[in-house]
Structure 1
Amino acid sequence: MEHWSELYREHLARLNERAHEILTREKLAGMVIHSGQLHRQFLDDMDYPFKVNPHFKAWVPVVDNPNCWLVINGHTKPRLIFYKPKDFWHKVADVPQDYWTSHIDIQVLTKADQVAALLPPDLQDWAYIGEHLDVASVLGFGWRNPDAVMHFMHFHRTVKTPYEQACMRQANRIAVKGHVAAREAFFAGGSEYDIQLAYLAATSQGENDLPYGNIIGLNQHAAILHYMVQERKSPTLRHSMLIDAGAAYMGYAADITRTYAFEKNEFHDLIQAMDALQQEIIGMMTIGLSYVDLHLATHQKLAGVLLQSGLATGDEQALIAGGVTKAFFPHGLGHMLGLQVHDVGGFAQDERGTHLAAPEQHPFLRCTRQLAAGQVLTIEPGLYIIDSLLADLRNTGAAQLVNWQKVEATRPFGGIRIEDNVIVHESGIENMTRECGLVE
């Protein structure tokens, strides 16, 4: 507990330094970060599951309580206005008492619509950070999500403090338990839904606790990049499983993908080749290297895998130039990871938010930054049999480079994605996912 307290103290000091710098620069008295409000389902008397403002949970690990506020001026203790209503219908959150609470001043709010009494008296020089701009207007904030403040915070949020890195290691440990259980359920004959239940039980996280909806695709479903259906019935023939599933810890996310062949066959060998490719890409990572260049190197290496496996013929450059590698691997190599699964700042080149878009030929790449110490990213190359993309490829001159008979034989297996979560350090790359025990 003392270790976490010290990590959090240092984390909070870093955030306060950042806040002081941008508030001084923009001549603001401070910022007030809103945790958010519940959203009522249309024509119903129930609310959607609450999702906290990521800027809020960057400061305090309160992820499940709406109507809370943080008052920050950059030089004194942040003040948490914690919502604790009198309510006999629902479970009311207890006022926090944990390793982090001694570093925060806490005030209790019993009625959400009376928060003005606990906020600074004149909010004209304060910035509201949050989703509910109508509430900010009623309260009299002079600034609402000002661009300069948002760009500054997003740019610096890509460099994770030691506290944040520790949270993400723990998220990976939890997710790895789920992946091990899911793998066992797959080989035991479970359906997609059975595998999901095994994952949730192993992680002790409910579906609303997870940072994103798990992707669990058996056989050809593994070729659907964002497959969100979970079949209750196990397929008659069992070929493969792709599972993209994460976990959360103190508001921070893990995002891990693995692919398995039910039998030791050519698809199993293809998985091993993609796993080796992914490890080679991680081995190339070094401070100052462009993430775009890593993505382009992945296409180069994927061309080699396509040739080696017999899915394509010719040479690597012809496969890249002809769009063959893009048809098999249409998405980006990965993304920033942190308080959000697709964390902010992936395109920001400086504190002002200067945007560097993905290359025109690779529009789905989610990061164009140079690698820097403290960044946390996913590395997730893939190889899929996606009929619509391959149909388009058939109408090009590059169609002759594809072994369509081999494609047809691979189609029942769907596709492959191997995804690890890595931290960039001055001394090298830390692969949290593998170091937490998920080596295959």
Structure 2
Amino acid sequence: MTADTASLYADHLATLQRRTAVALERGGFDTLVVPSGTPHRQVFDDRDYPYAANPQFKAWVPLTRNPGSWLVATPGERPRLIYLQPFDYWHVVPEAPAGIWVEHFDVTVVRSAEEALQHLPRDASRCAILGEAQSALGDFVPNNPEPVLAYLDYHRAYKTPYEIEMIREATVRGVRAHRAAERAFRAGASEFGIHLAYCQAAGQDAHDLPYDNIVALNQHGAVLHYTQLDRVPPKPLRSLLVDAGAAHAGYACDITRTHAFEEGGEFQALIEAVDRVQQDLNDRFRAGTDYRQVHLDAHLALAGVLREAGVIRMQPESALESGVSAKFFPHGIGHGIGLQVHDVGGFAASDAGGTIPKPDGHPYLRLTRTLEPGMVVTNEPGIYFADLLMQELRESEHAGEIDWDRVEALRPYGGIRIEDDLVVAEDGAPRNLTREEFARSAG
């Protein structure tokens, strides 16, 4: 950490401690106890699933490869870290705790997972223990009390300046990797080859990345979460959709870009039209805006693109009301992002619980809250020509409103998605972490 980041981290910890004090009071507990998580052994196999740190743990410390450790936070006291550094000659042992963050904790190093029990609070019944069931140790069985989780998850939507800086650092890696992916695409690489170029540029492998890379050539771009990674490139190459992020200190970025192999063609024109919609929508990500309305506005704008491209004949309002726009744009406009790619608290009505409903007919929207300063959210409109959805549309009462020749001409290109990560500001337009980094690295 730099000196500036260290100061941000200290303030971040102070915020977590304030939130924790209120959350514990809400739940009637004295202490927060958070296991870092444990590896999962695959059934009928002799290896583990990739380890993923408990987000409630890595919110406090930038440790993502330390299973078997524990965080203990009691209001009015310094937080404690029980750090597992086992005797092990089969695997790499975590290095001794180091970094500016260490000075903020009372750190105890243990040599076995069971030894941690000696250093946990005496009375587990007075603890809110946040984690998965298999992290249980003695009486310390995760109870995940709802009042505590509701409060912490709701407020996790408001990122501290430290968290925004960590997401920005992740974005530096992500943008560098996206540029490498485009170069590999234009050199004729396969999906697998593009994925490897991405990982190399990010300096992270599939286990380090915050989610499985979506690297989709041609019609594969119509599969929203395509992760097949064909080893041989299709002929001819038409398009590339890359939805891939990167991680830094436990935080994620989430970026999508779409490229046409033939510059200046009709698919390139459609990409540019979606990009204009995306940038126009970016300005809507302001404090006080209902995120659900942004989603509906995206449908209207994308329906306008489809009409202008000759794909649909109906007015945008009719396309939205009838559900036709959802056949071409079937997912939500975005989600919160931070410790998780799809961060928690997206539907929370308040820090005491409750749910803000999704708009009727839009089941896949992941965020329904009103945007407020400090929130970091994605904006990812898209247009797709997915065979299943096109078939449903062809069999619907609205089939006559579609130019099926245009659909067939565009179907081999798959789809388009453009995604940026935005920080909602106190006033005015949001900070666009993604385009900021693309612009900075252009030279």
- TM-score, structure 2 normalization: 0.96
The CA distance in 1 between the partners of 2:397 and 2:92, in whole Å, is: 63
The CA distance in 1 between the partners of 2:285 and 2:155, in whole Å, is: 20
> 1:293 maps to what in 2?
293
> 1:395 maps to what in 2?
395
Runs (5+) with no aligned partner, structure 1: none
Cα shift at 1:396:
2.1
Counterpart AA for 1:103: H
The CA distance in 2 between the partners of 1:334 and 1:198, in whole Å, is: 26
Contact 2:37–2:135 under 8 Å retained in 1: no
The CA distance in 1 between the partners of 2:292 and 2:317, in whole Å, is: 17
Contact 1:212–1:341 under 8 Å retained in 2: yes
Counterpart AA for 1:176: V
The CA distance in 2 between the partners of 1:408 and 1:172, in whole Å, is: 36
Q: Deviation digits for residues 46-68 of structure 1, max 9, x if unmatched?
A: 22211110000001011111000
Contact 1:334–1:366 under 8 Å retained in 2: yes
The CA distance in 1 between the partners of 2:259 and 2:200, in whole Å, is: 21
Counterpart AA for 1:107: T
> 2:167 maps to what in 1?
168
Name the stretch that deviates more: 78-87 or 350-359.
350-359
| 2:125 aligned counterpart, secondary structure | coil
Cα shift at 1:231:
0.7
> 2:145 maps to what in 1?
146
Contact 2:82–2:107 under 8 Å retained in 1: yes
The CA distance in 1 between the partners of 2:411 and 2:123, in whole Å, is: 64
> 1:73 maps to what in 2?
74
The CA distance in 2 between the partners of 1:284 and 1:42, in whole Å, is: 47
Q: Deviation digits for residues 78-117 of structure 1, max 9, x if unmatched?
A: 1000001111111100122112111111101111112221
Contact 1:223–1:414 under 8 Å retained in 2: yes
> 2:408 maps to what in 1?
408
Contact 1:84–1:109 under 8 Å retained in 2: yes
> 1:251 maps to what in 2?
250
Q: Deviation digits for residues 356-383 of structure 1, max 9, x if unmatched?
A: 1212310000010000000000100010
> 1:223 maps to what in 2?
222
Contact 2:358–2:368 under 8 Å retained in 1: yes
Name the stretch that deviates more: 338-347 or 283-292.
283-292
Contact 2:37–2:54 under 8 Å retained in 1: yes
Contact 1:133–1:144 under 8 Å retained in 2: no
Name the stretch that deviates more: 61-70 or 283-292.
283-292
> 1:177 maps to what in 2?
176
> 2:260 maps to what in 1?
261
The CA distance in 1 between the partners of 2:230 and 2:60, in whole Å, is: 39
The CA distance in 1 between the partners of 2:396 and 2:356, in whole Å, is: 30
> 1:88 maps to what in 2?
89
The CA distance in 1 between the partners of 2:364 and 2:192, in whole Å, is: 29
Percent of matched pairs sharing the same residue: 45
Q: 1:25 to 1:353 in 2, by over 3 A?
A: closer
Q: How many residues align?
A: 438
> 1:41 maps to what in 2?
42
Q: Deviation digits for residues 192-229 of structure 1, max 9, x if unmatched?
A: 01101110111111110000000000000000001011
Q: Deviation digits for residues 102-159 of structure 1, max 9, x if unmatched?
A: 11111011111122211111222111111026725x3256x71100000000000000
The CA distance in 2 between the partners of 1:320 and 1:84, in whole Å, is: 56
Matched, 1:386 2:386: yes
- TM-score, structure 1 normalization: 0.97
Contact 1:322–1:397 under 8 Å retained in 2: no
Name the stretch that deviates more: 119-128 or 29-38.
119-128
Cα shift at 1:24:
2.5
Counterpart AA for 2:219: Q
The CA distance in 2 between the partners of 1:405 and 1:87, in whole Å, is: 63
| 2:353 aligned counterpart, secondary structure | coil
| 2:180 aligned counterpart, secondary structure | helix
Matched, 1:357 2:378: no
Matched, 1:192 2:191: yes
Matched, 1:425 2:425: yes
The CA distance in 2 between the partners of 1:247 and 1:397, in whole Å, is: 43
Counterpart AA for 2:199: L
> 2:60 maps to what in 1?
59
Contact 1:319–1:398 under 8 Å retained in 2: no
| 1:243 aligned counterpart, secondary structure | strand
> 1:305 maps to what in 2?
305
> 2:158 maps to what in 1?
159
> 2:322 maps to what in 1?
322
The CA distance in 2 between the partners of 1:343 and 1:182, in whole Å, is: 26
Contact 2:278–2:418 under 8 Å retained in 1: yes
> 1:32 maps to what in 2?
33
